Structure 1
Amino acid sequence: MKYDALLVQSFGGPEGPDDVIPFLENVLRGKNVPRERLLEVAEHYQHFGGVSPINQQNRDLIAALRVELAAHGIDLPIYWGNRNWAPYLVDAMTQMKNDGVESALVFVTSVFSSYSGCRQYREDLTKAQVEVGDQAPRCDKIRTYYNHPGFIETMSSCVRESLDQIPSERRQRAELIFTAHSIPLGMSDNCNYVKQLQESCRLVSEATQHANWRLVYQSRSGPPTQPWLEPDVCDVIRDLGASGATDVIVSPIGFVSDHMEVLFDLDTEAKEAAAEVGLNFIRSGTAGVRPRFIEMIRQLIEERLDPDMPKQALGPLGPSHDFCPVDCCLYTPQRPRPG
């Protein structure tokens, strides 16, 4: 398949105080989330001047990708479209159409497969194509990369940097907590989200030779009556403090950059929870624009441009599929609470 552009597709975020409520209304449209939760999250953004760091992080990612692609002779113009805030996906696709782009690869800034992390992005692409109309470019999403060597090596480097901050005599006993965004069980039932997360955590643990780890969740937003993935990171941190642990490393493996769920839910709330119970808290880094991560994106592009190129993947699960099945990552919100 020939491709003549790369589209970076992301979540979007407010870039000023007046953007916060309209942005969150975009995010939560059609979802059963209490208004009180929306206003609570709005306050999180206001702590940072109403500006989410995600848009600037995407600008930095695109700048690094342009350099990486050019250095390897890959001539693909890069476009950028968001789901929930400017620059919107439909505007990016309109520009692609006007520029004569016929077929684009799509890099989504979401690592793991779920409705909100994969299928919804593909649905957004289809909606934008319909809105743009005739001659809207074909858009093929790049496969997920939770077990790609580039992702695992990047996250392993982040964890090693955190381990090095702990005195050697306490290092092996340090609690390594991997976090990811909690999702409703009705969503996780129909995707490989948890399976992929567990495999990524296992691979990073193996690479860092740190066996003392667990996977937890953060940032749930649904009503209390709806079951979501647990345990919550702050609850686990408090339990660790009560059990006599001394050091906790929190690695936000479910996020590719330091956006709001990392800055507030971890660097503020989780850090405060650790302080309450006397735990030494270290928040490990995200992939961001680390060179190995940028190299990985280029490798994923190359394998789609050249079908004879071997696909890289660590562990027994192998590389993910290039094209999602029709029933991939469905969501059934009506799943009842167990018991």
Structure 2
Amino acid sequence: MTLVRDASPAAADGPEHVTEPTAYDAILLASFGGPEGQDDVIPFLRNVTRGRGIPDERLEEVAHHYRAFGGVSPINDQNRRLKAALEAELADRGIDLPVLWGNRNWDPYLREALIDAGERGYRSLIAIATSAYSSYSSCRQYREDFAAALDETGLSGTITIDKVRQFFDHPGFVQPFIDGVFSAIAEFEQRFEGIDVTREIEVLFTTHSIPSADAERSGPAARGFGPEGAYAAQHRAVAEVVMAAATGGVDIPWQLVYQSRSGPPTQPWLEPDINDAIAELPARGVKAVVIVPLGFVSDHMEVMWDLDNEALESCEEHGLAGIRVPTPGVDPNYVSGLVDLVLERVNGTPVDDRASLTDLGPWYDVCRPGCCENVRLGFKPADAGLAP
């Protein structure tokens, strides 16, 4: 019985984890997309905000972030590098799987990648979305994008799309953050002789804020994650793993903070904002801040503007030393881990043999019913998960 649309036979009846080996023709790398010149900025932002009726005058308020970088988002070049790194890793392992690339909001679009797949005779795709956590924008929206692109191209019923599990606690994703926090603390110990790391350093794990109502609906309701949902629970669980591994058990203060909110002031979003959190640290005797972009896989605009610009400026304003640790990018651990996630599905790896660093995982191969609803839009058709 087919319960999951556009799914491979092994995933079609909606198991939590697919343990039947599945042959795929190609990998679909799916990402957000970004402008590649000044003329692209407003059309790109119109794509991002489609359906919300936001006038160009308001979009221009966000556009200055991109215009400060010549109108070019770093995300497309990062995805080109990631695609190349995945291809090299696959070749090194002797795995014959081509990598296609499609974006949600800018060229190359997902529909173009699917047309290419169809023309090349690919019928079974395994998707990697460049987002590690559970929420509407980081998981379900990609699944809706797959369904919409298949419908738009007329390829639904011809091409199937499965998706690797959310990889927030996979060692390949987590290890770069462990390395970054370890290095940042060591640098502060060298810079400030005699610093009390248990009191004068604070680690801020930061991720994109989302509406509180969407956060509450992130992940399956049956798991009972509470008012901030799986989204916050996953981040906190990973932060605990990073701190335990990077500090050797030394009790260094840390907290989960948020950034880049874009909703109206009347709408509740996850807090605290990273800049507000930074402002409170001097009163507690903190001298140095380690900023960890835990919610991000690469140095895209929210990292380069909101952290490297605004958050580090907040540190300077409040007399704090600040270090922003790297995102995974094309770290070999991360690239290798993504290939491992694909091979879980290719090989039908048993759940007990899957790599996972928190008690929350390994996460689901097939998203559960009602997972990650968008309160404003409701449920739309989505691949790689059970309806709705």
Same fold per superposition (TM over 0.5): yes
What is the identity percentage for the equivalent residue pairs of Structure 1 and Structure 2?
A: 49
Say whether the 8 Å CA contact 2:41–2:66 is kept in structure 1.
Answer: yes
Partner of 2:175: 153
Map residues 1-339 of structure 1 onto 2, 5 A cutoff: 1-31=22-52, 37-134=58-155, 136-168=158-190, 169-170=194-195, 171-172=197-198, 173-191=200-218, 192-209=230-247, 211-308=252-349, 310-333=353-376
How far 1:121 sits from its partner (Å)? 0.3
Say whether the 8 Å CA contact 2:291–2:324 is kept in structure 1.
Answer: yes
Q: Which runs of 5+ in 2 are unaligned?
A: 1-21, 219-229, 378-388
How far 1:32 sits from its partner (Å)? 7.2
Q: What is the identity, as a one-letter code, of the residue corresponding to 2:318?
A: V
Higher RCO, 1 vs 2 (CA within 8 Å, ≥6 residues apart):
2
Say whether the 8 Å CA contact 2:31–2:102 is kept in structure 1.
Answer: yes
Q: After the TM superposition, which of the residue ranges 268-277 and 214-223 deviates more from structure 2?
A: 268-277
Say whether the 8 Å CA contact 1:115–1:329 is kept in structure 2.
Answer: yes
How far 1:142 sits from its partner (Å)? 0.6
Paired with 2:35 and 2:334, the residues of 1 have a C-alpha distance of 25
Say whether the 8 Å CA contact 1:177–1:215 is kept in structure 2.
Answer: yes
Say whether the 8 Å CA contact 2:123–2:160 is kept in structure 1.
Answer: yes
1:166 is paired with a residue of what secondary structure?
Answer: helix
How far 1:33 sits from its partner (Å)? 5.9
2:281 is paired with a residue of what secondary structure?
Answer: helix
Q: What is the identity, as a one-letter code, of the residue corresponding to 1:181?
A: H
Output the TM-score relative to the length of structure 1: 0.95
Poorly superposed stretches of 4+, deviation over 6 Å: none
Say whether the 8 Å CA contact 1:93–1:136 is kept in structure 2.
Answer: no
How far 1:174 sits from its partner (Å)? 1.0
Q: What is the identity, as a one-letter code, of the residue corresponding to 1:155?
A: F
Q: Which runs of 5+ in 1 are unaligned?
A: 335-339
Say whether the 8 Å CA contact 1:111–1:144 is kept in structure 2.
Answer: yes
Q: Structure 1 residues 76 and 58 mapped into 2: Cα distance closer, same or farther (>3 Å)?
A: same
Q: After the TM superposition, which of the residue ranges 59-68 and 209-218 deviates more from structure 2?
A: 209-218
RMSD, aligned CA: 1.7
Output the TM-score relative to the length of structure 2: 0.83
Aligned residue pairs, count: 335
How far 1:148 sits from its partner (Å)? 1.1
Paired with 1:90 and 1:177, the residues of 2 have a C-alpha distance of 38
Paired with 1:120 and 1:34, the residues of 2 have a C-alpha distance of 23
Q: What is the identity, as a one-letter code, of the residue corresponding to 1:265?
A: D
Paired with 2:169 and 2:331, the residues of 1 have a C-alpha distance of 17
How far 1:30 sits from its partner (Å)? 2.1
